[in-house]
Amino acid sequence: MATNASCGACRDAKFSIPITMAFQPVVDLKERRIDAYEALVRGPNGEGALHVLAQVTSENRYAFDQACRIKAIEMASGLGISCGLNINFLPNAVYDPMACIAQTLAAAGRTGFPLSRLTFEIVEQEDLADIDHLRRIMVEYRRIGFKIALDDFGSGFSSLARFAELKPEVVKLDRAVVQNCDQDETRRAIIVHTVRLCRDLNVKLVVEGVETEAEIITLQIAGVRYMQGFYFARPAFEAAVSVENIHWSRSAVAGRPASARPGKPRLTKARATVSSAQG
């Protein structure tokens, strides 16, 4: 794989702060399996992502991004992760798409981690002024075989406009949208229509930040298959929670909405329509 030897953006600015990773599963409610793990940066003593990110500057952000990718792939390989691996990335931390991806490809090659199992979650902490730059990154990543996920969808800069622009393979619906969705008609409607939107566009929808049984049931009725959140498993420090240790929902039934189980109260007409439409 060709590299741009003249690009010194990350080579010249070493990221000397030690980092490690925690891994949180994305679960497939339909098949009761782990679909992927998201790698989340941590300090060496388990310090949170914010602690680490506070040490990232405009000078070392390229090196930081490289260090995170390499660490995530090496650790995932060492832990025997055999499903998908999601890596967060900051578009503004990519200087040149091919030069910046060279070390990622080398890490995957060294560890034997298949490139097709990598998904890059686009994190936008600031509005991206140079959309052409992001387009160039996306073209290169797709050519290599990576998938692109739009992270935190529905909050901050992760908007419908960005969805339309990026045409991601995966959309991660932010917890800010889904929290307490079991108690809120507006949130339920947004979820139902996001499910429909993603299905029509053949985009995988993952709901983030699922924390309660009631939320899971509501999400399943809406047709959500992939979820991530504290309810199922917290991020595990330098470890990958096995499928046996996932806290599966007691009420939800694999492969169909909880509402379809025998003995459950009848759905309202509106909800029943939604349920059958997603089935």
The candidate with the shortest Cα–Cα distance to 154, out of 173, 131, 128, 167, is 173
Residue 37 or 62 with smaller CB distance to Ca ion: 37
Q: 197 is written with which tokens?
A: 């939107």
From the list 72-80, 87-95, 209-217, 248-256, the region that binds Ca ion by CB under 5 A is 87-95
Q: How would you classify the pairing of strands 170-173 and 204-207?
A: parallel
Residue 53 or 270 with smaller CB distance to Ca ion: 53
Taking CB under 5 A as the criterion, the residue among 96, 121, 124, 174 binding Ca ion is: 121
From the list 29-37, 56-64, 83-91, 159-167, the region that binds Ca ion by CB under 5 A is 83-91
The candidate with the shortest Cα–Cα distance to 103, out of 238, 9, 240, is 9
Q: 172 is written with which tokens?
A: 């991660």
CA distances for 96 relative to 10, 70, 132, 158, 239, angstroms:
10, 17, 12, 23, 32
Taking CB under 5 A as the criterion, the residue among 28, 124, 151, 174 binding Ca ion is: 151
Residue 221 or 236 with smaller CB distance to Ca ion: 236
Q: 20 is written with which tokens?
A: 């490690």
* Cα separation, 215 vs 188, whole angstroms: 10
In DSSP terms, which residues pair with 153 in a beta bridge? 173
Residue 184 or 211 with smaller CB distance to Ca ion: 211
Residue 162 or 188 with smaller CB distance to Ca ion: 162
Q: 148 is written with which tokens?
A: 């692109």
Binding residue count for Ca ion, defined by CB under 5 A = 3
* Least Cβ distance, residue 61 to Ca ion (angstroms): 17
From the list 10-18, 118-126, 173-181, 233-241, the region that binds Ca ion by CB under 5 A is 118-126
Q: With binding defined as CB under 5 A, does residue 35 bind Ca ion?
A: no
Positions touching Ca ion (CB under 5 A) are 88, 121, 151
